[in-house]
Chains A and B, each alone.
Chain A
C-alpha cells in the first residue's frame, strides 16, 4: 500500500470517530436537563418564563433528540458553538477557544519537548548500560515521577522556587500568570485577562512587538508549569524507551551490526534506536493526550490563562457552553494526536507503510 493510500484511508476512518465524539458530548450535556443547558444564558434582570421559552425554542429543546443533535451539528459546523459566561471570559465559545487554546498548546508543546528530550536519551542510556548506576538513578527518578500526584508536585515546586517566605535563596521563578503584572500594565496589545494579540501566544507576540522584557518574563513564567507537566510524562516515556531498547539490543540484526565491525555508537544509534523508537512513538501520542489532562490541573494551580483554567471555571459555574466547547476541543486534540502518531508510525516502520 502506498503512503498516500494509507493516509486517505486513515482520514476516512477519522469521520466516524469525530461523529462519535460530538455525539457523546452532546448526549452528556443533554442528560443534565433543560435547566442546565439554558442556565448560563439567563439574565436575572428579565422575566424567567419568557427567557426560558425563547431559549427552548432556540435550542429546539422540545424536538426529538436526533433533531436537536442535527441542529447542534449544524451549529458546530457553522462556527456557532454557543456562549460561555465564566469569571475569566464571557462571550462566544469560539472566541474563548481562540484566546485560550494557543497558550495551552504552547504550554503542552514545551512540556512535551522537555519530556521527550530528557526521557528518550535517558531511556536509551539506561538500556545500553543496564543495571549500572545511570540506569538505577534514572529508574528511581522515573518511579518517583510516576508515583507523585501532579498537584502535590506543583505545590512543592512553587513553594521551593517561587515563594520568598519558604525559600528566599531559591525564589527565582514567578508563581503564576503568563507575564509579570508590572510589565503588562498599559501595554496595548495585552488584554485584561492577560492574553496577548495577535497570535495570543505571549512569547511570539512579544517578539512581534519587539518587547524583550515581556518576552523573557513570559519564558520565566512558563518554566514551572511546563516542568511540572513534563515530569509526570518523563517517567512513562523513559520506561517504555528502556524496555524497547533492551529488546532491540538483543535482536539478531544488532549482532549482525556488531560483527560487521560497526562502532558501538553506530550500532546503538543507527541500528538499535530506530527500531526501539517504533513502539515508543505510538505511546508518545497517548502521552501527549495525557498531558492535556494534566493541563487542566496545572493551569488552574499556576493561574495560567489557557483552556485548562477556562475548563475549571466552566465546570464550577455550570457553564454548559464552555463545558461542551472545551470537551470537544480536547477530544479533537486527542484524535489528531493519534492520527499524527499513526502517520509517524507508518513513516518510521516500512512494514506498516507497505504491508497489506
Chain B
C-alpha cells in the first residue's frame, strides 16, 4: 500500500485511464472517445494527429476539464494527484451537482486551470474577446490567480509579451487590430503567464499563412529550449505541424488511438494501416512524382454502433475479422497499434503493406505529364490589373477627401499564358490577390485595365478575342461564360441547402438554356455525377447537401462545374476545407478530368505542396504581382525569388525538418494599399539593398522559369554570404 502511494506521487504528470466520452445529442449519442489510455511524463512534447471527428478535440477538452454538460464520461483523467475528469465530476453530472460539491470542485479547478494546465487556442480566429484589449485579457489571468499588485502585474505582462517576441504596444491593441501571427504570439504569451506545467496547443497554427505558421512553430521550439514550455500536447489535423514539434505522436481516428510511437518511427515505419494510408495522403514537396492515394470513403458516423473496427469500412487491408470484432491496442515494444494485424505488420511492415494492397482509386498514370507546350494557348493575360477603390460606402464617397483616395491593388500587371489542358497553380499567401485574379479571369469581376485574350477557336487554330472590356450582355461574353466554371473553397456554403443535388448539378444547364428536356437533363446529371465518382448517381440525385459529407459535397460542386464540359475551370482552394484523407482523391479527380477531357485548370492555393502535386506550371503571386513562374518541379526544386525560397522553406513537411527564422523573411505579409515604390517584396526581403527600395526590379531567368528581382542567383548568394559574415 505504501509502495503504491509513492509510485502514485512519482507517476506521470498526466494520466488518462480508460476514458470514454459520449455526447448526448438530438441525433443520437456520439461516441467521441473510446477507452483512451495515455500517460504523459514531465518534459515530453506529445503530438495528437487526427482528422475531423477523430476525437482529438474532445480529448483536449477532457484533459483541460472543459467538457460540456451533454457529455457522458467513463474512466478518468488525473493531473498530478488530482482527478480532473471522471464520471462523477464531468459533463452530465455537473448539471445536478450539489452546491457544496460544486464549490470544492471549483476551487480545485481554479488551482489547476492556467497554473497547472493552460491552453493555446487557434488564435487567428476568435480566442481573444473582441471587445477588450489584449493587455486586459492577459492581466486578467494574474488578477484571478495571484494577489500581485497592479503595477507588478503590468510589468509581468510586458515581460511576457517580450518573451513571445512581441512589441509591448500590442497590449493596448484590440484583437482585430493585430495580424493572425501576432494574435497567435499573444495567445502563447497568455498561455505562459503562470508558467504552467502542461500546455495544450489545439490547432495552434490553423488559419495562419504558411510563413506565419513556420514562425509560430519556431517560436514554440525556442520556448521549449528556454524552458518556458515544459510539457506540451500539440493537437492538429496536420501531421507536418505535429512532426515539427512532438517527440511522441498519437494518431487518432473515430475516437480511438490508432497508433502511438515516437515521431520518427511513425513517419518511417507506421505499424497501423490508417497511419500508413494517412501518410499516403499528404502531398509533399520532397516526394517526387508519386501518386497520392488518399483514403476512400467518408469519415465514420460515430452515432452508429458497430461490432468491428471503426476504420474497417475504409481500410484497404480489412479482413472479415475487422468487421466482426473490435481490435485491441497492441503493445509492440515501446509502440502501440490498434489493429488486428499489428503483430504481423510489426514483423515486416513493407511486406504487409505491399502484399495486401488492393488497387487504389487513381490509376498511376495520372501524374504522367504529356508535353503541353505544343498545345494551343487558351488564355492570354496581358498587363491585367484589378484595383479596388477603398472608399466604397456612399457616405465615404461624400465626405472622404479626394486626395486620400486609395486603391487596393489586388491584381497588378499580370502577364501570363495558359495552354489548353494545362493545370496552372496560382500560389500566394492570403491577401496576395490570387482569388481576385481567378475571378477577374472568369470576368465575375471587371477588369481595371489590361487585356484578357481568349482563344475561341473550335479547332487547332487560333482565334483570340480580347474580352477584358466586353459587355456582359454580348454574345461573345455568353460564349465565354459557357467555356468557364468555378469551384469554391467551402463546400458547405457553395451549395444551396434547399436544393436537391440533381437540381444543383443541372442548374448551369437551365441557366444557359442548353436543353429543357427533363430526361436529358437527368441523364446529363447522372453521367456527370458518375464522372466525379459519386456512384451510383441515383443514390445522390434526390438528396440534399446536408446529407452528404464534405468530400462528397465538393464532388457535387465539381459536377455542377463540369456538367457543361467547360474548357477552363477555376478551382479556388478546393481542398483546404476537406479532411486530409479526402484531399488526395479530390486532386486525383481533377487530374483524371484533365486527362480525359483536356480540361484547363487554374488551381488557386496557398498550399505549395498540393500545387506541386497537381500543376504543370506554378505562378507565385505576392501583393498582386507575379514574382516567379516556372514548371512546378523546377520552381520547387530550384526556387529563384527570395520569397519563393522562404515559402518553400516554411512548409512543415512530414519528411523534412528545417530551421526557419527572420533570415528567411522579415515580418508579416504587407497590404496591397501602401505598396513599396520599387520592389514589392522590399519590406520583407532579407536580401534587400538600397536600389530595391525605389527601382522596379526587372524580369530575370528564362521564358520557362522567370522571376522578378534586381539580382541574379550568384549576387543573391553573395549577399547572403556577406550577411552571414557580419
Docked CA distance A349–B398 (Å): 24
Counting chain B CB atoms within 10 Å of each CB, which of A252, A256, A348 scores highest? A256
Docked CA distance A266–B110 (Å): 13
Stretch from B123-131, B349-357, B361-369 contacting the other chain? B123-131
Residues of chain A whose beta carbon lies under 8 Å from any beta carbon of chain B: 9, 12-13, 251-253, 255-263, 266, 271, 274-275, 278, 348-351, 354-356
The answer to whether A252 touches B140 (Cβ under 8 A) is no
Q: What are the interface flags for B47-88 relative to A under an 8 Å C-beta threshold, 1 for contact and 0 otherwise?
A: 000000000000000001010000000000000000000000
The answer to whether B145 touches A275 (Cβ under 8 A) is no
Docked CA distance A256–B191 (Å): 10
Docked CA distance A251–B131 (Å): 13
The answer to whether A256 touches B121 (Cβ under 8 A) is yes
Residues B292-346 near A (CB distance < 8 A): none
Known: A252-B125, A256-B119. A275 touches B131 (CB 8 A): yes
B141 close to A (CB within 8 Å)? yes
The answer to whether B131 touches A354 (Cβ under 8 A) is no
Q: How far is the CB of B106 from chain A (nearest CB, A)?
A: 7
Q: A255-B66, A260-B141, A354-B174 are in contact. List 4 more A-B contacts (CB 8 A).
A: A252-B126, A257-B129, A259-B119, A261-B109
Q: Contacts of A255 on B, CB cut-off 8 Å?
A: 66, 121, 127
In this complex, what residue of B is CB-closest to A261? B113
The answer to whether B399 touches A350 (Cβ under 8 A) is no
Docked CA distance A131–B126 (Å): 26
Q: How far is the CB of A82 from chain B (nearest CB, A)?
A: 33
Known: A9-B399, A259-B113, A355-B176. A251 touches B140 (CB 8 A): no
Q: Contacts of A253 on B, CB cut-off 8 Å?
A: 126-130
Complex A-B: 25 CB contacts under 8 Å: A9-B395, A9-B399, A12-B398, A252-B121, A252-B122, A253-B128, A253-B130, A255-B127, A258-B66, A258-B113, A259-B66, A259-B118, A260-B141, A260-B144, A260-B190, A261-B109, A261-B141, A261-B145, A263-B106, A349-B131, A350-B131, A351-B174, A354-B177, A355-B176, A356-B390
Q: Contacts of A349 on B, CB cut-off 8 Å?
A: 130-131
Q: Contacts of A258 on B, CB cut-off 8 Å?
A: 66, 113
B583 close to A (CB within 8 Å)? no
Docked CA distance A43–B546 (Å): 73
Q: What are the interface flags for B380-392 relative to A under an 8 Å C-beta threshold, 1 for contact and 0 otherwise?
A: 0000000000100
Docked CA distance A251–B122 (Å): 12
Q: Contacts of A257 on B, CB cut-off 8 Å?
A: 129
Q: Would you list the 8 A-B pairs with minimal beta carbon distance, nearest first?
A: A261-B113, A252-B126, A253-B129, A350-B174, A261-B114, A259-B119, A256-B127, A252-B127
Q: Contacts of A263 on B, CB cut-off 8 Å?
A: 106, 110, 144
Docked CA distance A275–B117 (Å): 27
Q: Contacts of B113 on A, CB cut-off 8 Å?
A: 258-261
Instruction: Give the number of residue pairs across the A-B interface with Cβ within 8 Å.
Output: 79
Q: Please tell me the number of chain B residues within 8 Å of chain A, measured between CB atoms.
A: 34
Q: What are the interface flags for B94-138 relative to A under an 8 Å C-beta threshold, 1 for contact and 0 otherwise?
A: 000000000000100110111101110110011111111000000
The answer to whether B130 touches A351 (Cβ under 8 A) is yes
Q: Contacts of B125 on A, CB cut-off 8 Å?
A: 252
In this complex, what residue of B is CB-closest to A5? B399
Among A256, A262, A274, which residue has its beta carbon within 8 angstroms of that of B128? A256
The answer to whether A259 touches B64 (Cβ under 8 A) is yes
The answer to whether A12 touches B128 (Cβ under 8 A) is no
Q: Contacts of A356 on B, CB cut-off 8 Å?
A: 390
The answer to whether A274 touches B131 (Cβ under 8 A) is yes
Q: Contacts of B126 on A, CB cut-off 8 Å?
A: 251-253
Docked CA distance A192–B485 (Å): 77
Docked CA distance A293–B127 (Å): 42
Q: How far is the CB of B180 from chain A (nearest CB, A)?
A: 14
Q: How far is the CB of B221 from chain A (nearest CB, A)?
A: 23
Docked CA distance A262–B140 (Å): 9
In this complex, what residue of B is CB-closest to A252? B126
Counting chain B CB atoms within 10 Å of each CB, which of A261, A349, A355 scores highest? A261
Docked CA distance A258–B118 (Å): 11
Docked CA distance A266–B131 (Å): 15
The answer to whether A259 touches B399 (Cβ under 8 A) is no
In this complex, what residue of B is CB-closest to A353? B174
The answer to whether A12 touches B399 (Cβ under 8 A) is yes
Q: How far is the CB of B179 from chain A (nearest CB, A)?
A: 15
Q: How far is the CB of B671 from chain A (nearest CB, A)?
A: 12
Q: How far is the CB of B112 from chain A (nearest CB, A)?
A: 8
Q: Contacts of B132 on A, CB cut-off 8 Å?
A: 274
Docked CA distance A257–B132 (Å): 12
Known: A257-B129, A274-B131. A262 touches B144 (CB 8 A): yes
Q: Contacts of B106 on A, CB cut-off 8 Å?
A: 263
Among B129, B144, B398, which residue has its beta carbon within 8 angstroms of that of A261? B144
Docked CA distance A252–B106 (Å): 21
Docked CA distance A134–B398 (Å): 50
Q: Contacts of A9 on B, CB cut-off 8 Å?
A: 395, 399
The answer to whether B141 touches A275 (Cβ under 8 A) is no
Q: Contacts of A261 on B, CB cut-off 8 Å?
A: 109-110, 112-115, 141, 144-145
Q: Contacts of B112 on A, CB cut-off 8 Å?
A: 261
Among B128, B145, B176, B390, which residue has its beta carbon within 8 angstroms of that of A351? B176
In this complex, what residue of A is CB-closest to B112? A261
Counting chain A CB atoms within 10 Å of each CB, which of B109, B119, B131, B174 scores highest? B131
